Structure 1
Amino acid sequence: MRFSITSWNINSVRLRIDQVTRFLSEQSPDVLCLQETKCPVDKFPEKAIRAAGYEHIAFAGMKGYNGVAIISRFPVADIAVTGFCEKEDARHISLRLGPQAGEAAGLAIHNFYVPAGGDVADPAVNPKFAHKLQFLEEMRGWADRAAVSRAPSVTVGDLNIAPLEHDVWSHKQLLDVVSHTPLETSTLERLREEAGLVDSMRDLRPEPEKIYSWWSYRSPDWSKADKGRRLDHIWLSPDLAPVCRSVEVLREARGWERPSDHAPVTAMLEL
């Protein structure tokens, strides 16, 4: 069985629902995980998604900020929304695929939207950066409780950190920029390693290949400048890493009309 899962920071699901349905139609992932949906629960565009052939939707949201969703071809179970940092700000949702998913039945999926952290990489003067570091620290406890490495699991999301040298357009120029500071990158890598999870993109496409999934809106010609960062990740439990056949960024989606500043990242597993 070939199983595909996509992670995409959509930057407002209501504003970009046409892009979501286009992606579902053209790419047909088995599961699509969205972040930054910026949508309260009662306004989530379920009807349009179901019309695209995806009947099973789990989501957590709030007005104007954050928000995560998991859209599935298959029935799902054990949906859970977890709060971090004593906040109920819709940054994590998880579930398991039901028995109808065939070889993927029972697969646990965790979808995260890690805080961006603001502009100043100093927790003493920037509460947003302090929040980000606290969130990452609490993710270490989550990984232990969820036992993500001891059962088939996929952890995805906009983690708002480009951890490796070739995950950014210029390692030297971005060392002091939030999302690529040594404190963030070392914290994220330690978290992933302690959780026993595999960075699927870099497992298949190791450095020095440059890989980006985000390009700033501030660039007048984002594609030509190509000053990107790899902020979006798909981590696999060790039993799934050997059956991952590809992990690709749909760069062209960054060029669609009124795009998100993130592009979809899709992993293909052969179960």
Structure 2
Amino acid sequence: MPKKGNSESSATLILNTLEIMINKEKTGVRELSRELCVSPSTALRYLQELVNNDFLEHDKSNAAYTPGLRLLQLSTQVNRGFTLPQIARPVLEKLFATLNESINLGILTNDMREVMHMDKIAADRMIRIDTSVGKKAPAYCTALGKAMWAFNPIEDVIKALKNSDLIPLTPTTKTEIPDILQELELIRKQGYAVDKEEYSEHLECIAAPIFNNKGKVVAALSVSVLVVQKKDSNSKLIPIVLDAAQKISSQL
């Protein structure tokens, strides 16, 4: 149990809040203020700070706070003793050996507006994009981003869309919110996302979401394929990508 007391430092109270949230599905401002023995305004300040940094999510429909993406990832790492890239790496390597195409692992960041690459195995090809580890890309026009958006609360996705600069990076980039939301609905039904030269010309990506043991999407993996060599390979790639994502999910 977290320690309580008004004399505690802000850092300690933030850590106590995280500990409470790891063990709860949701909480409210007043409930948290009672558990921390602080005023509701102080509890609200800590909750908002954690929401701003993706550790918590705020459901405005019922004013509840729930564990966010970064807290779920941290909880998984502590419970398993491994980081997400460590768990995923053997699967990514096997996928690369099977397909000989670039493989990417990513998570959502920056209030769900961007994808950050956690791992990558690059194929030897003339056309490349910079998706090195730590590199960020817009979520709205990448298969990784759309694969994760599709399985997040719609209100959070709409907020991320409204706060994003929806710039057409290529002639095929979707920049209208209704069009993107319609595509996300399709992704939810089929279980995977496709980026058809929307982020980079001549490259097409297929991505599948990765879920933790509570059914929350925490990451996604993708395969990047040159359009000139792709032909009709999507139908063969999709089940392979889905199977790889499921293998990682089963270990979280």
TM-score, normalization by structure 1: 0.30
More strand by share: 1
Larger RCO: Structure 1 or Structure 2 (Cα < 8 Å, ≥ 6 residues apart)? 1
More helix by share: 2
